[in-house]
Structure 1
Amino acid sequence: MDKNDIILTYGSDPVAMTRALLEAIDIESLILDKNSSIALKPNLVVAATAESGATTHPSIVREIISFLQERGYSRIKIVESAWVGDSTKEGFRVNGYEAISKTFKVPLVDVKDDDYEKLTSNGITMEVSKTILDTDFLISLPVLKGHCQTAMTCALKNMKGCLSDRSKRMFHNLGLHKPIAALNAIRCADLVIVDSLNGDLDFEEGGNPVRTDRMFAARDSVLCDSFGSQLLGFELEDIPYIQLAESMGVGFTDLSKARVIQLNEPTNDKVAHPSGEVANLARYTLPKNACSACYGNLIHALKRLDEVDRLGNLETKICIGQGYRGETDKTRIGVGVCTRGLGKSLGGCPPKAIDMIQFMKEL
């Protein structure tokens, strides 16, 4: 796997998807020494299950450990810290990490109990977990989801769980964006495997999950977040810490130079319609056998339009899904290659949320 690669897979089985990604990555070409210390850094910001759209699916963590141990890597730890005021240990318990630890003999490290090293980057001094700093190879396992303060959280922001609670508070006082970039200039992930199965629309703590049934991997955290931002319907300018991290030498934002390797096609599993805001946004859609990835991107695009008061301008519902293949109703509008016979249609399989936004604005 090269530095400019993004490997993408679709499905509803995180175990099979994780293994497919790991095989495509060729992990042994990245971690040459089988005695290397490896840290897995999931997102357990709150003590909530992955179904809420807040936390990393534990089956992903389990499969990575199994895969690594099969290949002779034995020095593996799971390292994480919940946000200020919540219990990491409770997050471990709720998500079954104690059983994972016992089964695979892999220690759980609560960063809240760790020793820290005080380091300065770009004028910001912070306390960083010594376990993370001493790790030879760091695998970040973020959830791609919205965030009420930074618009999005993925690879770069997931590193915030490597700080002391005191530094987390300080990051918020400084506005999050520059500190997040500065932290990654000190230590960023060596490999990112993104859980984008059902991330929340807006909030780090979950509550409005949107099924997209995908996972992707990257070695460059900046490139990873640039790709993720488009999937959620954001411009880079909406998430300042991404470009700030690029300016600090963490990685690159230019997706035109990235090689996106898609391992399979999206499936047309039944799309879930959670209650609340997602159901409200779904009123603007006409799905027929829609793939979760395509439909999830449309929901994110509708949400972005709603945030800038443009959703009310839509005069017709948006058709989406494989059920529209062969239809030629010129009065209808659709997104995705399956709707190409309609009067107006946006191509792509699936089209990104950012492209859907532009398409609907032009309507």
Structure 2
Amino acid sequence: MSEVVTLPCESYAQTVRRAFEQAGGPDALAGFARILLKPNLVNASPFPVTTHPAFTAAAIDAIRAHTDAPITIAEGTGDRDKETDEIFAVLGYQELARCKDVDLLDLNHAPLVEISKPGCTVFPTMWLPEAAFDHCIVSLPVLKGHSMAAVTGTMKNMIGFAPPSHYQGGGWKKALFHRDMHGSIRDLNRYVTPHFTLMDATVGLKDYHLGGPRCCPEVGMILAGADPLAVDRAAAGLLGIDWHGVGHLR
């Protein structure tokens, strides 16, 4: 697996760009005509449950130092009561998109394509947004534990691509993944996985992805890398979790 860069965060503006460059972010962008930024906006809760818009802004600046390709911020929220456009507005992403001149895309309602993958046992066929396959995907998760997945990092962040029209299965818009969380994450990442990750590990939620206690002391780090499995294994270590015991990270 490729190297994961872990840097103490001096500021988003300084450290995100330095981590992006040291971990080979410019190489990951090469050859792509369009860039898709995938923050974690699972619901309307502010950072550290969701990706801070200032972190996403720093990622945009880091990317624009190396390419003129158009950038889209894309998410498909899992919130049972709100649509993604509402989440964008509440969390400051509409204002961010206006200030940075980038597009917003609701993955929950984007045009879909059906794909099959031999060897996938949970999802032998998946419906996913077309945008997942014609953009360079830069994942922007936050460091969190998870009640079912143990760790929610860049691989689990890909669940935002799954359309509720096919994967709701309950109150939460992506509830079908709960039936086999680890197997679902593994299969999903065989279909769509990030080309590069910048993870905000400045705070860290120790146990629960929707709140609960913060890491004490706060972690204070930014992670970056082109290998999502390596990034998530490193993230698990920052939470004091042995990745060998996490199904989708083994």
TM range, normalised to the smaller chain?
A: 0.7 to 0.9
Larger Rg over CA atoms = 1
Q: Residues 113, 209 of structure 1: CA spacing in aligned structure 2 closer, same or farther, 3 A cutoff?
A: same
Tell me which residue corresponds to 1:42: 39
2:20 aligned to which of 11, 19, 22: 22
Tell me if structure 1 keeps the 8 A contact 2:39–2:140: yes
Indicate which of 192, 195, 202 corresponds to 1:190: 195
**88-97 vs 65-74, which moves further:** 65-74
Indicate the residue corresponding to 2:30 in structure 1: 32
Number of aligned residue pairs: give it.
Answer: 236
Alignment of 1:83 with 2:78, yes or no, is yes
In structure 2, the residue matched to 1:164 is 163
Describe the SS at the equivalent of 1:144: strand
Aligned partners of 1:152, 1:172: CA distance in 2, in Å?
14
Q: Are residue 92 (structure 1) and residue 88 (structure 2) matched?
A: yes
Amino acid at match of 1:190: H
Q: TM-score, normalised by structure 1?
A: 0.61
Establish whether residue 61 from structure 1 lines up as the match of residue 67 from structure 2: no
Unaligned runs of 5+ in 2: 168-173
Structure 1 pair 24–157 and aligned structure 2 pair: CA distance change class (3 A): same
Structure 1: gaps (5+ residues)? 244-363
Within 1, Cα distance between the matches of 2:16 and 2:162? Answer: 27
Q: How big is the shift at 1:69? A: 2.6
Partner of 1:228: 235
- Separation (CA, whole Å) in 2 of partners of 1:8 and 1:83: 29
Q: Report deviation, 1:31.
A: 2.3
The separation in 2 between residues aligned to 1:234 and 1:116, in whole angstroms, is: 36
Match of 1:178 in 2: 183
Matched, 1:71 2:66: yes
**Residue 232 of structure 1: how far off its partner (Å):** 1.2
Partner of 1:111: 107
Tell me, in whole angstroms, the C-alpha distance in 1 between the residues paired with 2:12 and 2:44: 20
Q: Distance in 2 between matches of 1:44 and 1:170?
A: 18
User: 1:213 corresponds to which residue?
Assistant: 220
SS state of the match for residue 206, structure 2?
A: coil
Q: TM-score when scaled to structure 2? A: 0.87
Structure 1 residues 220 and 94, CA, compared in 2 at 3 Å: closer, same or farther?
same
User: Counterparts in 2 of 1:99-138, with a 5 A limit?
Assistant: 99-121=95-117, 122-123=120-121, 124=123, 125-135=125-135, 137-138=136-137
State how far apart, in whole Å, the 2-side matches of 1:62 and 1:101 are: 9
Q: CA deviation at 1:70?
A: 3.7
Instruction: Provide the identity percentage.
Output: 26
Structure 1 residues 187 and 162, CA gap change in structure 2 (3 angstroms): same
**RMSD of aligned Cα (Å):** 1.8
Deviation, structure 1 residue 241: 1.0
Q: How big is each residue's C-alpha offset from its partner over 1:110-153, in whole Å with a ceiling of 9 and x where there is no partner?
A: 11121222223413132212111221x11011111011111111
Q: How big is the shift at 1:4? A: 1.4
Q: Are 2:217 and 1:241 aligned? A: no
